Structure 1
Amino acid sequence: MNLVIDIGNSRVKLGVFKDNTLIYKETCNIIKLHAVVSNVQQKYPLIKFALVSSVVKKHDELLKMPPTIEKVFYLDSDTLVPFKNEYETPKTLGKDRIALVTNAFYTYENRNCLIIDAGTCITYDILTAEGKYKGGAISPGILMRFKALNNYTGKLPLVDHIAELTVKLTGNSTEKSLRSGVLNGVLFEIEGVINAYKEKYQDLTVILTGGDQHFLSKNLKNSIFATSNFLLEGLNHILAYNTNS
């Protein structure tokens, strides 16, 4: 069994895998990380390997792995990955993007893939059918756009972007106008990026994941494959790749 841990700035996602099957998932506050990992190890004592992906520099102070785990890997730019990384600055490539591309490499073998992760930021990553990672783009996420309009103006309110799953083109109030501008802007942006890559790469597979995927999958016109566990699955593939190497 494998344990993968994705440590963000405030939240932590954990997954236990038996081979390639996710059998347990939990999200917790970073303060409770050590206790949660201990409980998971007690529940699944056959966990043999672990992979930690962290954006927190002092993650070793937040997490002490149980001694029963045979080997612990920490994801960084030197970690072995199955795809050819053509990013010019690999040391600055986000660990979440590495995990997402890895899962696309295995799940959609020999296919051109565009992976869209809609969370705090919206990231776009392109993996070719030959297994070459080309890079992509980073833009502000939905909540970040709403916060920017609130923070950089004197009177515009902060809008709850998940209040509704649909959005009208024309807003007849300030709040609805904000929703129209931000949400339609994001939808038009994503559609435009997808269409641009479809012109460049034939038979493009578009993968959507991230915290805002539910809203986006309901409103995007392009056919997409949406999964909430795509990043954890990618981390597990990286762990398996390194334990077998």
Structure 2
Amino acid sequence: MNLIIDEGNSQIKVALYKGDKQYFFKSFGKDHFEGDFLEELSLKGIKKAIVSSVAKHSRERFAFLQEYTSLPVLHLRADTPVPFSNQYASPQTLGCDRIALVAGGMKRFPRRNVLVIDAGTCITFDFITKKKEYLGGAIAPGIAMRLKAMHHYTDKLPLIEEEDFDTENFVGNTTAKCMLSGVYNNVLREIEGVIAQYKKKYNSLTTVLTGGNHFYLAERIKSTIFAAPFVLLEGMNAILEYQKRI
């Protein structure tokens, strides 16, 4: 059994895989993670583990895994061997979450051009060719970040929380609704425009959508996409499995 741990900006996601099949998944808060984890899961039967983190001091935070067992833990980094050719011009700056997303997209759709869109704190676009060449992509502010930025960088615009905004009614008739339309409607059009760009340049394109806002966006994006909430975890598992073959 493989233990997969993904530490994001707000939560820590934990999964168990045997081969390609997921047997367990749960999101944990960052406070009291060690105690909550050990209460929820037994380390018996786990052969290998991989950790991906966008936060500082992750090695210290997850050191308890080796304190309780001799479990080998792979901390995913930019120089970790992966099952694709990384053509990024500055690979040392590439986030481990994006590496895992690419591996997951490729695992799901081998021999195809794949665009993975992660709609979370930031909206990231990552592209890998059918020849297993990762070329790069784009990073843009996410929905919550855009709402907060308008309030932060102006004197009068209010702070608005995320909501299930109806983009069919995109003409805002209050300041708050104008802000919501400017974020939600524009994010949708932005994503659809990026997908169209890639389709024009690369044939047989498959688009995978994941991230915290993927449920909202998947219902509204008109382009053909595959909603895949666990593609990052699947990518981490694929990277861990790849270590056995090198």
> TM-score, normalised to structure 2's length?
0.94
1:152 to partner: Cα distance: 1.0
d(CA) in 2 for partners of 1:144, 1:106: 30
Q: Secondary structure at the match of 1:161?
A: coil
Does residue 23 (structure 1) correspond to residue 23 (structure 2)? The answer is: yes
Superposed CA RMSD in Å reads 1.5
Partners of 2:32 and 2:6 in 1: CA distance? 14
Does structure 1 retain, via aligned residues, the 8 Å contact 2:98–2:126? Answer: yes
Q: Which runs of no fewer than 5 residues in structure 2 stay unpaired? A: none
**2-side partners of 1:191 and 1:166: how far apart?**
14
Pair 1:234 & 2:235 matched: yes
User: In 1, distance between residues paired with 2:224 and 2:110?
Assistant: 19
Tell me how far apart the structure 2 counterparts of residues 22 and 40 of structure 1 sit (CA, whole Å): 16
| Range moving further from structure 2, 56-65 or 223-232 | 56-65
Deviates more, 1:59-68 or 1:203-212: 59-68
Q: How does 1:165-244 map to 2 (within 5 A)?
A: 166-244=167-245
CA drift at 1:165: 5.3
Query: Given residue 205 of structure 2, which amino acid in structure 1 is its aligned partner?
Result: L
Fraction of identical pairs, as percent: 45
Helix, strand or coil for the counterpart of 1:27?
strand
C-alpha separation in 2, matches of 1:16 and 1:69: 18
Provide the secondary structure at the position in 1 that maps to 2:137: strand
2 CA distance for matches of 1:118 and 1:218? 13
1:51–1:74 contact (8 Å) kept in structure 2: yes
Provide the residue aligned with 1:36 in structure 2: 36
Question: Following the alignment from structure 2 to structure 1, what is the Cα–Cα distance between the partners of residues 36 and 59?
Answer: 15
* Deviations 1:14-45 (CA, angstroms, capped at 9, x unpaired): 11111111111111122322223323542x51
3-state SS in 2 of match to 1:206: strand
What is the CA deviation profile of residues 83-111 of structure 1, one whole-angstrom value per residue up to 9, with x for unaligned ones?
Answer: 10000111110111100100111110000
Aligned in 2, Cα 1:167/1:161: closer, same or farther, shift over 3 Å? farther
Counterpart of 2:93, as a letter, is T
In terms of mean alpha carbon deviation, does 46-55 or 7-16 score higher?
7-16
Aligned to 1:87: 88
| Partner Cα separation in structure 2 for residue 237 and residue 40 of structure 1 | 24
The alignment partner of 2:184 has SS state of helix
Q: Is the 8 A contact 1:49 1:69 kept in 2?
A: no
| 1:48 equivalent in structure 2 | 47
Figure out how many residues of one structure are paired with residues of the other and give that number: 244
Q: Give the CA deviation at 1:146.
A: 0.4
Amino acid at match of 1:169: F
TM-score, L = length of structure 1: 0.94
Which deviates further from its counterpart, 168-177 or 95-104? 168-177
Structure 1 residue 70, shift from structure 2 partner: 3.3
SS in 2 for 1:115: strand
Any idea what SS the aligned residue of 2:37 has? helix
Correspondences of 1:56-205 after superposition (within 5 Å): 56-63=55-62, 64-66=64-66, 67-164=68-165, 166-205=167-206
